[in-house]
Structure 1
């Protein structure tokens, strides 16, 4: 049975999508069978990042298909897009390009799709929106709660400056509620880290602040490198295909190793 990895962060947490794509690509480069699902129900942009058509929603199509009793994991393989990378590939299920299509994502059907994906893949990487709501029954925030709580790993993303860290710490008390008594490994990742925003020793300072106000014992970071991010976006490529020697690539690889 495969493992699910939810990538989530509070409002103002940049890089959820970039991290989702590159974690999926890195795991696939290790020889794992991986599917990436764009589950940002406010309007996913993974397709744009990869240079693909964002008007066709594989997610909506597979949820519609999952309503059928004849739905099988083979349907998922047929609808998902194969994304080639250096030394392999990963599968990608495109999301909804506009929030108005949210009603097409039926939660019971989606959970069935994810269950099937776990039987067909080693890893199911889910790029979630910022929303988080433990009260509503049919909201996008409630869906995130459900997906996070049913998974194996949660990569919680924050921004590497005082505002981003404050939002990260404020969001933390809500995250354990999603576990519902299950064992969920939470990986804290602070993105866009730069000494000009947090001081001359950013790694030490970020770790001390976050560990003081949460139960985390370790914090992963990704440095701010606009040149790397722009190069990937311009080419529609992943960190596996270019910029492999950058600090960003090595930091993402260190996160991927924890998820194995």
Structure 2
């Protein structure tokens, strides 16, 4: 039985590919798609086994590739011979099987057969020279000895040698860790913890990336006194969708606010949430692993799966960013406010959270104070979480409103504004535990930022 194939190729080369497929043994060309909507319609209807796509097909991006895979359609990338940019875009979309336009019909047949069976054809798999990771490592090596200038190849970025160079990718023995900070509704302190946790990790000498993925009320930029007219997370996800996200382009939209700490600012308006799709955010977080050894992600509270929209796989989902960040996390921190209302929300929220993550979260109780729970507040909060949520040994952050308020007013973190704060010491200990780096008494690297 012939394999049903469809094409989504730019107009200049579509006829050439269609002619080759017409002569390919065992392949039946059922549709030459005019646009992305046509491509998605025929593939999601189950009328195609394999789609042949080109990076320059009008409207095609990473968000359209996901529904094709979910529909069980194999994907073959087609590119102009020798055009590495098109090969790189296809690679970033996850299209591993690629062929140059003008390949022989037998090669098309072999590639289509390979992806249809769920296996990559050895004859069409890109070699190491087409791997953007390998190319990046080679470029970084050349740059390190001054033998080659840095010239960005990303069309989203200005062609300027002044862009900062990112660090070399982490070695296998230094695998980056993603920590997602979540908490139930009611402002339990998710962003405060995420910001200060990232700052403390950077202070320990661990390159850190802070990502504001809260699509309801992003505020990382405000906590650090950063401008957010051009949100970094939106720019990064656009780059991922277009297939142009790499370490250099990510470094350009995630500036280093101080030594060792890069920040992807969040959406300034909640109505822009469709810009941050789950598949694009997952790609961004994976690239963040190349920029730092610790990635701290601040997310919103809602965990609903948007079941009403689940039948429509192409529709954006309101809580997709939160769910994607939780799914990608190596460690999830669940933070709640240490008062009767906040603890009740935390206990109930932990039940919902455990339904969407595989490993138990690390629980933090914030603003622990006797005025809210009575005498011996640490003991009372610990007993309540143990009894009602089965949480043993939660991290307890004491209430230090003056320190937090002063830091927010100044646009600084606790390590800068109130280094002796009791709350800061708990967060620093948590950062040391997550990074495996013991805190030292050396002079703070925040001095340079404090003087600026």
User: What's the TM-score, normalizing by structure 1?
Assistant: 0.93
CA distance in 1: counterparts of 2:407 and 2:319, whole angstroms: 30
Q: Tell me which of 273, 290, 293 is aligned to 1:119.
A: 290
Per the alignment, residue 186 of structure 2 pairs with: 12
Per the alignment, residue 400 of structure 2 pairs with: 225
Contact 1:7/1:128 (8 A) holds in 2: yes
Give the SS at the match of 1:240.
helix
CA distance in 1: counterparts of 2:348 and 2:187, whole angstroms: 13
Is 1:145 aligned to 2:313, yes or no? no
Is 1:176 aligned to 2:350, yes or no? no
Contact 1:188/1:219 (8 A) holds in 2: yes
Q: Tell me which of 233, 239, 242 is aligned to 1:65.
A: 239
Give the SS at the match of 1:71.
coil
CA distance in 2: counterparts of 1:192 and 1:151, whole angstroms: 25
After the TM superposition, which of the residue ranges 63-72 and 31-40 deviates more from structure 2?
A: 63-72
Q: What is the deviation of 1:68?
A: 2.6
CA distance in 2: counterparts of 1:73 and 1:214, whole angstroms: 41
Cα gap change, 1:104/1:145 in structure 2, threshold over 3 Å: closer, same or farther?
Answer: closer
Is 1:52 aligned to 2:226, yes or no? yes
Q: From the CA coordinates, give the structure whose radius of gyration is larger.
A: 2
RMSD after superposition: 1.5
Q: Which runs of 4+ in 1 moved over 3 A?
A: 134-138
CA deviation profile, 1:135-176 (whole Å, cap 9, x unmatched):
545433343223212211111010111010011111111112
Is 1:253 aligned to 2:428, yes or no? yes
User: What's the TM-score, normalizing by structure 2?
Assistant: 0.54
Per the alignment, residue 131 of structure 1 pairs with: 302
CA distance in 2: counterparts of 1:100 and 1:185, whole angstroms: 32
Per the alignment, residue 197 of structure 2 pairs with: 23
Q: Where do 5+ consecutive residues of structure 2 fail to align?
A: 1-174, 311-315, 436-452
Contact 2:414/2:424 (8 A) holds in 1: yes
Higher fraction of strand: 1
Per the alignment, residue 92 of structure 1 pairs with: 263
After the TM superposition, which of the residue ranges 201-210 and 102-111 deviates more from structure 2?
A: 102-111
CA distance in 2: counterparts of 1:43 and 1:185, whole angstroms: 26
CA distance in 1: counterparts of 2:254 and 2:183, whole angstroms: 25
Q: Tell me which of 248, 257, 263 is aligned to 1:83.
A: 257
Q: What is the deviation of 1:112?
A: 0.5
Q: What is the deviation of 1:233?
A: 1.0
Per the alignment, residue 341 of structure 2 pairs with: 163
Per the alignment, residue 373 of structure 2 pairs with: 198
